[in-house]
Structure formats: structure tokens, C-alpha cells
Structure 1
Amino acid sequence: MPAIEIQELKKSFEGQSVLHGVSLTVSHGDIYGFLGPNGSGKTTTLRLLLGILSPDEGRIAVLGMNPSVSGAQLHLRVNALPESHGLYGWMSALAYLNFFGRLYGLTLSGGDYRARLRQVGLDPDDSRPVRTFSRGMKQRLGIARAMINDPEILFLDEPTNGLDPRGRREIHDLLLQLNREKGLTVIISTHILDDVERLCNRIGILEGGLVRYEGPLTDESQSAISYRFHLENGAAVQSPWNFPGIALLERQDSWITCLIKEGSPAAAIKTLVLGG
């Protein structure tokens, strides 16, 4: 049984369709990269997987459970770190982790909490309020909080957004360690390609409410390479995206980042130019 299985998932808000039939599968032990431009439906899909939202149509199974029906039971076995997770800035890291342990009804010793902080590279004797922490330290504390219940699946929304290169590497190393030592399944929603290249063994690309590509990220899959293109003279990005063999990852001003699944970069440029 897969860790996660989605079949023909559809979701609308106030008559506006966001997901048009999303299907994907995540195996136990995967670090799965969930990519796509802003507005592609990534966050909506994560909320559906966590049972925060209910689908209009389709089937979701997370650890064999329907999140909309078995949410309380499921949340004992999974956890998540949203992009804006907030911290109680007046607390120390140790007090913060202890607080969430009590919320979960855990009977952990003080030594357990200290060990969990050391695992993510934080000093349990650091009594400073967490509002004084660097962004990277706050992210590591957030991951420690998300691991408080020893989840089987960890959902992360833009975990390295806003971090400098050193901070991103530290988060990468931590997630790889947790995956290796605990067999943790990790779902990462991101638009940062470095996250995917360093961490993920499988990826799914969501664009326009549809999965445009799903598959492994291996040395053999070199046909799926990302490139950035600059659109001259204020050219607009075609919407909806309809270029076979080219998946749109990100739109930013006059730049687009694409995954070329078939053919060469030169052929992709020709396709984009001819397609307007």
C-alpha cells in the first residue's frame, strides 16, 4: 500500500475550479518534490491530504485512511510545517517544544526534548527567546516541532524559502538525515529547484490544476532538465499552459522556469517562440 494515493482529485472554490483531476502516488520512504508555479494548486492539494479541506470529487488515501473521515486518527501519524508556521517568540526553544509535546498529550522526559533539539542542530541550553533566532534556526525548530509525534509522513510547504544558501544546505542535510535514520516519508511543496535536486527521488509537477509530470528524479532521467527563459519585450506567458513536453515550474516577472521532458533546449525554445 502506498503512503499516499490520490485519484482524479477535483476541488473548486466559489465556482472556480482549482484542481481538475489530480492523480499521484507516493511510496513509503520517498522524498517527494511537489513543484509548480504560484496558483497551481499545490497548497490546496496539501490541505486536502491533511484533511483541512474535503474534495469535491476523487479519492484520497493517506496511510490507507481518508483524511476527511479519519483526520484525528491520521494526525497522530503525520505532521506538517506550513510556510508561515509562527513561533511563540517569548519562549526558549526547549519551552516551545515542551509546550507542543503537552498539546499532543506526550509523556516525554526533559531529556527527550533536549535530544530532539540536538537532533535538529539546536542547543537545548540556549535560553534566548526564539524571536532572536535566525531564520534557519527557526526553521530547524519548526521541523523539531513537526517531528514531535514521530510522524510517518512529514508535509513541508516551502521549507527553505527565504534562507541563504548555507541555511538551505543545513535544512537539506537535516531532512536527508531524518529520511535515512527514521525512514521518514517527506512531501515537499516548493518552487526552489535546488531543493528538488538535492533531496527528492520522485517529483510531481502541478500546473493549472493538473499533474503535468510525475516520475523519478535519477541520473537516467536527464531528459527532464530545468531551464530558465527570459521573455523579451514584456511578452506574456500563455495561459493556460499548453506546450507538450514542457512543464512550467515558475513564473516570475519576465522569466519562466520550465522542465523539458522531451527533446532539446533548442527545440523547446522553438516551441515556445512558435507558440507565442
Structure 2
Amino acid sequence: MIQTEHLSKTYRNGFKAVKDLNLHVNKGDIFGFLGPNGAGKTTTIRMLDGLLEPTAGQVFIDGMDVNKQALEIKRLIGVVPESHGYYDWMTAKEYLQYFNSLFGGNEGDVYLEELLKKVGLREKKNVPVGEFSRGMKQRLGIAKALVNHPKIIFLDEPTLGLDPSGQRDIQQLIREINLNDGITVFITSHLLKDIEVLCNKVSIIKDGILVEQGSIKELQGRYVTAYTILLQTNDNDLALSLIQRLDGISDVSKGERQLVVRLSEGLDANEISTVKRNLAGTVFTAGIDIREMTHKTLSMEDIFFKVTESSQIGREAVL
């Protein structure tokens, strides 16, 4: 659906913003594109949607070359930038009618009202956009991006500045347009929780270079350094003194309400199972009740900082 081949951009001042970038986004993905400030995310997106010509390399969307078939591709994509530039004097319906006219005015009011219903704004169709909250404007921006029946939608910081309720509403809307409408979604966000709860694939760039890509589960597997167990008992102090003596345990620390048990590095699945059985048996034998025992996985934030703070570059796995 989206593919870049050795995509690069060097500005006139000699600054190399993007260097030999190879991305592959499949149809139906909710794809997260991450990187620190200044990593080249905005430059990349502008090349993907045809607003900026690359210095080298190619971008293909649905098999078409962005630089050679720009008009056709414009009809395939919808874009929700971080800053929309809304026309506050227009009503929500007028706003969609205006953007519909830019695409040739092919859609009637019935379809536009269906879009407003989809984003939860049908009852506000005659309200000026200037009276909308930030969350309502963001939903209207998504409706605008859907006017031309896109196959792909680009979202830049879709939940930035929203309260938790507004963030949840936008996340749910993104899931719905992906699942119900079959739209491929490409997201950039500094809110890593968005990426974790929404995306099935992720790419991370640093200094214009692709440093990692894969599913979140794949990345968790690559960057976990040791198996970690979260343990809550009715006597954490006694449990700690017993557990830290066991073979296969490298460290036990006490959290607010639980123990964080770090196993030795390099253990295979069978060895991990043996350590867990020994741990549970030791605790039960001492008359201690285990209230909860779970495996701690790396969050997207953990992975992001591990990747961007390391020097590893150039992983070429196909997503």
C-alpha cells in the first residue's frame, strides 16, 4: 500500500533530513511512525503525500509513483495535519461541503451528513467551527479527510492536547475507520500510548535513518533483556528474602505493592518455567499466599527509548 525505496531528502543548506529510508506499509495496517524531534518524520510524511520532492529514491502508494502520478494519488489519500487551519466562520456542514467541492463536488449532502454522524458531529452540523472544542475539531478534521473516500489516511499527532476522554474517542474512531471502512492508517505521535493501543506495525527513525521496524510484539521480543515477574503476596518482605536465594533469580526489588523479580539473562523457555515453578513452590511452602503473578512486558515507551538511545541502525525487516 505504501512503499519507499531508498528515500532521501537533502535541503539546500546541505542538511540531510532523511537518509535511504525503506518503509513498507501493508493494506489494512494501522502503522505508527516514530522518532525524536528533528528525526525526519515531517519531511518523510511530506514526501509520502507528495508535498515535497525527494532528493533521491521513490515513493509508491497503491503501486503508483507519487512524483509521477500525483493527481491520482491525491484522490487516494486523506490527511489530518497537526495544525488544521479551520475556517471558524463556517458550520461543520459547510466545512465539509467546501472540501467536497475541491474534489469536484461528487458527494451530496446525504454522504456528508453520514460522515458527520460517523465522527459524532451530526447534531452539530449547523454550529460554527469556531465554537468547537479541540476534540470536536479533530473529529471534524478526520471527517474532512474522508470526504474523497481515501484508501489511506495520514494522521499527525491525532490526540495531542486532548483530555483522556477525547483521546479515547479519537482512538476508537481510528479503529472504526480502519476496521469498518478498510482504510490504511499512518500515524505519527509523540504520545506513545496511542501507538501502543492502536498500531499493529511500527517504524522508528533517528537522525533521518530507519533504526527499527516491526510489530510491537516483535520489538518487545528484541529488546527485552531479561524475563521479569511482578509478584504480589500477603507477605512481600518474607517472600523477598526467600526468592532472592533461588537459582535463576538475578535481582528482587520491592515496589509499592509488589515485588519485581528479574530472572537471569539468557534463560530459555524451559529454564524460565523451572524458575517460576521453584519460585511458586518456595513461597507456598512458607505459607505465603500469592495474590498475583504476572510477566512484565516492555511498553512502547520502553522500546522507543531503548532504540533511540542505542546506536543500532538499518534494520531492513519487511513489515
Instruction: Give TM-score, length-normalised by structure 1.
Output: 0.79
Partners of 2:138 and 2:158 within 8 A in 1: yes
Answering whether residue 30 of structure 2 is matched by residue 19 of structure 1, we say no
Q: Which runs of 5+ in 1 are unaligned?
A: 226-248, 251-255, 262-267
Partners of 2:34 and 2:204 within 8 A in 1: yes
Tell me the equivalent position of 1:142: 141
Partners of 2:81 and 2:155 within 8 A in 1: yes
Determine helix, strand or coil for the equivalent of 1:218: helix
Residues 155-205 of structure 1: CA deviation (Å, up to 9, x unaligned): 111111111111111100000000000111000011210110111000000
Partners of 2:223 and 2:303 within 8 A in 1: no
Query: Which amino acid is 1:131 matched to?
Result: G
Partners of 1:91 and 1:130 within 8 A in 2: yes
Query: Is the radius of gyration larger for structure 1 or structure 2?
Result: 2
Distance 2:168 2:192 in 1: 13
After superposition, where does 1:111-150 map in structure 2 within 5 Å?
111-150=110-149
Shift of 1:43: 0.6
Partners of 1:80 and 1:155 within 8 A in 2: yes
Query: Which amino acid is 1:170 matched to?
Result: D
Partners of 1:93 and 1:124 within 8 A in 2: no
Residues 20-53 of structure 1: CA deviation (Å, up to 9, x unaligned): 1111100000000000111100010001011111
Tell me the equivalent position of 1:176: 175
Tell me the equivalent position of 1:231: none
Match of 2:306 among 242, 260, 272: 260
Distance 1:13 1:92 in 2: 40
Query: Which amino acid is 1:13 matched to?
Result: Y
Determine helix, strand or coil for the equivalent of 1:21: strand
Answering whether residue 205 of structure 2 is matched by residue 159 of structure 1, we say no
Distance 2:218 2:3 in 1: 25
Distance 2:152 2:171 in 1: 17
Tell me the equivalent position of 2:198: 199
Count of residue correspondences: 234
Choose between structure 1 and 2 for higher RCO, CA contacts under 8 A separated by at least 6 residues: 1
After superposition, where does 1:36-185 map in structure 2 within 5 Å?
36-185=35-184
In terms of fraction of residues, the more helix-rich structure is: 2
Tell me the equivalent position of 1:5: 3
- Does the C-alpha gap of structure 1 residues 182 and 18 become closer, same or farther in structure 2, counting only changes over 3 Å? same
More displaced, 91-100 or 104-113?
104-113
Distance 2:125 2:49 in 1: 33
Determine helix, strand or coil for the equivalent of 2:75: coil
Tell me the equivalent position of 1:244: none
Determine helix, strand or coil for the equivalent of 2:6: strand
Shift of 1:220: 8.1
Distance 1:92 1:11 in 2: 39
